[in-house]
Structure 1
Amino acid sequence: MSLRSLAVTVATVTAASLLTAGAPAAEAGVPGPNRACSASTDIDGYSDALNKTTFAGAQVGELSGLAVDTDGKLLAVGDESTLYTLGGRTRKPLSVETLADSAGQPLDSEAVTVDRDGTRLVASETGPSVMRFDRRGGYLGGLDVPTALRVAPAGRATRNQTFEGLALLPGGHTLIASMEGALAGDDPGVRRLQTWHRGRAAGRSHGFEAAAQYVVRVDAGLNISDVASTGDGRLLVLERGFTAGVGNTVRLYLADTAHASDASGISVVGSGTRLRMVRTTLLADIADCPSLGATAEQPQPNPLLDNIEGVTVTDRQEDGRLHVLMVSDDNGNATQITRLYALTVRLPRR
């Protein structure tokens, strides 16, 4: 896999290893001035190997979500009802499944996470919905979605601004979906996080019931494009936006819902609403990362940037460092790139 890096200290490391889960500390976990995006985050490498390629007759692109499977392989979900399995080390496509809902209709699939038994949980902006699939892409059922989060006129959500991120917390008992945009009536600067909880006695791949709802503030002009579990009850939150003639803004946040208010009973969140929001900490603005020699096909503040929509944690170190993988969605556009990004993140203590 072709990777480019300016860090001469890793010149002897194979290209594939920089985008491999569990890369040794000497290769991808030690901070360095040539790779620092911020005090807490380094970029270890990137790859355009998937860009404008085909697999099994399908165009590999429009990838919006990532997850690590139970066997260490990588799942990448595409907007057009596709779910790819990629090699855990090579990141090369191994298989692709076409997804459909209970009526056999395609999804606007945006995010994926994996249950303890390997069941795939996929978020679709149609509805919106969260659906369960087996390893072969067979439909197993869906989760109940609160009325307010449904697309208008059924609810208060805007089409194509609904479930964009999905994460399963440690233990497999709490699932979280993030809304891309604000609900009608809510402060335009806040987004809702919907949870489902599964009792310990419930079956391994079912039993989720709608539970608490949290509110998180986002940066002006940005939306939430994905969330990922850090493994300690917190979340990585990926925010991104686009300005014509300028390019993308992409920021990675750490979010903690531990002391946030349950907003499921609050119909409208406005400036005067009394509630404790999710606490967030900026980890990195991706524009501040070294470009590593990347090129862009359209204006960007940093040529490394594109429409980054997916994030997952590929490995957790005992010292608290996370190896993180992100992917950009090319939107099927000739001037955009399907790009994988490998980061090392050092989380602050709770």
Structure 2
Amino acid sequence: MNKLFPAPALLLAAAAFPLLLSCDDDDAPDTDTAGPPTSVASLRFIGEKLVPFKQDYQGTTLGGFSGIDYRPDNNSYYLMCDDPANLQPVRYYTANLAFDASSFTGITFTGVTTIKRPDGSNFPSVAADRNNVIDPEGIRYDAATKHIIWSSEGVRNVAVTPAVLTNPFLREANLDGTHVAEFALPPIFQMKATDNGSRSNGSFEGMSISPGGKFLFTAQEEPIYEDGPRAAFGVTSTTRIVKYDKATRQVVGQYAYKLDAVHKEPVPSTQFQLNGVVEVLALSETKLLVMERSFAVGATPDYLVRIYEIDLAAATDVSSVAGLQSATYTPVTKRLVLDLATTGIARVDNLEGMTFGPKLANGHYSLIMVSDDNFGASQISQFLAFEVMP
């Protein structure tokens, strides 16, 4: 089946996962939202919930939560799983979250849906067909069409023969997971066997639909080869925010975004490190929240996540610029909203998803973040709830 809905929903209960709040709770979030805030002054931490490692849900493995989006009309959340069909078919989940301005009390998973290829078949696993494997990452619910839009970062592996070169993509799908359409991919973002185009695991990770639904934003997680080296300890880099016309599915703008350096030196210094844009969340047709996630093997802490508010209004459209290293342009402006290291959260893990939720009883919006545990026992699947301070 393409879509599985359980006869009861899986409730993460007991001491760590209490029952959902009832609908008549005076402190429950207000689901009658008119749209997201147009600016975010700061974020106040409300609470955290964890999903147990490799929890089973309807024959699938929970984890790998790389994207989240809120659907106001039924108070539900869409969650992308980044399993590339190695455990089970490529899929997304739906869930309900229970929180108010003072506490985060529960997560209930309510459905799992297999996402299909354009021909209606399932995506293959790496073992079955490495040349057609994908890297699912982001998800948004489009209220105008009642479809989802989702992303894959693509796959580039030049260490094998023939080289694996699977392009990143943005696709639109029905809620049952069947394919609808694909957004245009500029040649500059294609995977190539030479050091050109997108880096593997560094392309379209997050995305967001602008208020009013006219535009879709995404970002290159890391720089394309032509735009310069990756971020490292003591080394900043430049990547691109990409703006699509949602109706035509064509790119209408690209903007340079200055990434921070990696927060710590890996241990030893030759080990893996990165910093990149893992999520964007539109505030208007020119303003977005950006989630930058930095990681360094062996460092303490190993992850650092910062939320920035950015503005494209005065930035140069670099769509026609083949490489940014020697180009002259004005990048987007960025303002720090939150460094999650300052929240007191015991462990900030591999956060990759972010969405506005419903309004709280005081009229302020909520914001939810989610982490991708990479299906690894040393990591956690964490959901974090915040109050948006205007």
TM range (shorter): 0.7 to 0.9
Written as runs of structure 1 = structure 2, the 5 A alignment for 1:268-283 is 268-270=323-325, 272-283=326-337
Is it true that 1:330 corresponds to 2:330 in the alignment? no
Q: Quote the residue 1:234 is aligned against.
A: 287
Please list, as runs of the form range in 1=range in 2, the aligned pairs for 1:1-350 lying within 5 A after superposition: 40-49=42-51, 51-69=53-71, 70-80=73-83, 81-89=90-98, 90-103=106-119, 104=121, 105=123, 107-115=134-142, 116-126=144-154, 127-153=167-193, 156-188=197-229, 189-198=237-246, 206-221=247-262, 222-230=275-283, 233-246=286-299, 247-270=302-325, 272-291=326-345, 303-315=346-358, 321-347=364-390
User: How many aligned residue pairs are there?
Assistant: 304
State the Cα distance separating 1:50 from its structure 2 match.
Answer: 5.1
Q: The residue matched to 1:91 in structure 2 has which SS? A: strand
Amino acid of the structure 2 residue aligned with 1:281: R
TM-score by length of 2: 0.71
Q: Percent identity?
A: 25
Q: Matched residues in 2 for 1:42 and 1:100: separation?
A: 38
- The whole-number CA distance in structure 2 between the counterparts of 1:322 and 1:260 is 28
> For residue 304 of structure 2, what is the amino acid of its counterpart?
T
Given that 1:113 and 1:166 are in contact with CA atoms closer than 8 Å, whether structure 2 keeps it comes out as yes
Structure 2 CA distance for partners of 1:335 and 1:99, relative to 1, 3 Å: same
3-state SS of paired residue (1:48): strand
Distance 1:193 1:232, change over 3 A: closer
1:241 offset after TM fit, Å?
A: 1.7
**Aligned mates of 2:42, 2:96 — CA distance in 1:** 28
The question of whether the paired residues in 1 share the 8 Å contact of 2:53 and 2:375 is answered with no
3-state SS in 2 of match to 1:185: helix
Structure 1 residue 73 displacement after superposition: 0.8
Q: How far apart are 1:24 and its partner, in Å?
A: 6.1
Query: What does the per-residue CA deviation read over 1:150-209, in whole Å, with 9 as the maximum and x for residues that have no partner?
Result: 1224851111111011100011110011111111121331111111114xxxxxxx5322
Q: Give the Cα separation in 2 of the matches to 1:59 and 1:150.
A: 31
Measure, in 2, the Cα distance between the counterparts of 1:99 and 1:43. Answer: 33
Letter in 2 for 1:73: S
1:24 to 1:280, Cα distance in 2 relative to 1, 3 A: farther
Q: In 2, are the aligned partners of 1:236 and 1:255 still within 8 Å (CA)?
A: yes
State the 1:322 CA deviation: 3.5
Cα drift, residue 75 of structure 1: 0.3
Cα distance in structure 2, aligned partners of 1:164 and 1:238? 11
Match of 2:129 in 1: none
Residue 98 of structure 1, CA deviation: 1.4
Cα pair distance change 1:182/1:320, threshold 3 Å? farther
Stretch deviating more after TM superposition (223-232 or 324-333) = 223-232
Q: Measured at CA, do residues 235 and 67 of structure 1 come closer, stay the same or move farther in structure 2, by a change above 3 Å?
A: same
Moved more, 212-221 or 88-97: 88-97
Aligned residue for 1:281, secondary structure, equals strand
Closer/same/farther in 2, CA of residues 2 and 47 from structure 1, 3 Å limit:
farther
Which 10-residue stretch deviates more, 233-242 or 328-337?
233-242
Contact preservation (8 Å) 2:316, 2:329: yes
How far apart, CA to CA, are the structure 2 residues paired with 1:339 and 1:2? 15
Alpha-carbon separation, structure 1, partners of 2:213 and 2:340: 30
Q: In structure 1, how many angstroms separate the alpha carbons of the residues matched to 2:53 and 2:288?
A: 28
Letter of the aligned partner of 2:174 in structure 1? D
Return 5+ residue gaps in structure 1 as ranges: 6-13, 26-38, 199-205, 292-302
Cα distance in 1 for partners of 2:285, 2:217 equals 14
Deviation at 1:52, TM superposition (A): 3.0
Backbone CA RMSD of aligned residues: 2.8
Q: Partners of 1:341 and 1:253 in 2: how far apart?
A: 17
Verify the 8 A CA contact 2:296 2:303 in the aligned structure 1: yes
| Contiguous gaps of at least 5 residues in structure 2 | 1-11, 30-40, 84-89, 99-105, 125-133, 155-166, 230-236, 263-274
Q: Measure, in 1, the Cα distance between the counterparts of 2:330 and 2:388.
A: 26
Aligned AA (2:192): A
SS in 1 for 2:377: coil
Q: Residue 346 of structure 1: CA displacement?
A: 2.4
Please say if residues 237 and 254 of structure 1, whose CA atoms lie closer than 8 Å, have aligned partners that are also in contact.
yes
Q: Any idea what the Cα deviations from partners look like across 1:257-309, whole Å, max 9, x if unmatched?
A: 12211110011112x42212111111111111113xxxxxxxxxxx3211111
- Matching residue's letter, 1:215: A
Give the TM-score normalised by structure 1.
Answer: 0.79
